[in-house]
Amino acid sequence: MILSKEQNFYPDISFVDKNNGEKIALDIKSTYRTSKTAASGFTLGAFTGYFRDRTSKKNITFPYGEYEKHYVLGIIYAKQAERVDEYKIYSIGDLKKILSVIKDIEFILQEKYKIASDRPGSGNTKNIGSTTKIEQMRGGSGIFSKYGIEVFDDYWMYYLTKDMARVLELPKPPYRNIKEYFEYKKA
């Protein structure tokens, strides 16, 4: 087990088999519930840099292409509805009275592609987004689960934001979702 050297390195933990050198990536992610059935969603790592250049050693423990599998340990939680007084001083006897800022914690473990969505994860960053449906997170039944890791890899390796398309002098990105991706691949 090898922990990442830096906070912004991928993955958080690398497991390396001592016998054959096989590597498994484990990234730890968290998201909060927005309803009983939905969550804000995870950001599942970059779709540029090491994801596209599978031999790159920048911001990654081992080159992406050396990992046999990529897993996400997801933490889904609810925000505490009651206001927490962060300045109040408690005695050790009051420990059970202290409200946590989060509650209803659930853990999921899935291969990254199985919970990925076909949209970026946050704002204008170049990160892969996840499904926001908690059942799909639990069951690993996101949009790419039915198409496989090859489609997931191809989709995100060639995905372009508007700015990336502009730099390449394209009027717009070739696709913005899985439906447009399949139409683009047919052309």
Is 12 one of the catalytic residues?
yes
Pick left, alpha or beta for residue 92 (phi over 0 → left; psi -120 to 50 → alpha; otherwise beta): alpha
Return the half-sphere exposure (C-beta side, CA atoms, 13 A cut-off) of residue 49: 15
What's the CA gap between 73 and 9, in Å, rounded?
16
Active site residue: 5, 17, 23, 29, which one?
A: 29
Is 29 one of the catalytic residues?
yes
Classify residue 91 by burial, with Cβ atoms within 10 Å: 0-12, 13-18, 19+.
exposed
Residue 33 identity (one-letter amino acid): R
Neighbours of 157 (CB within 10 A): 13
Give SS3 for 169. Answer: coil
Residues labelled as active-site residues: 12, 27, 29
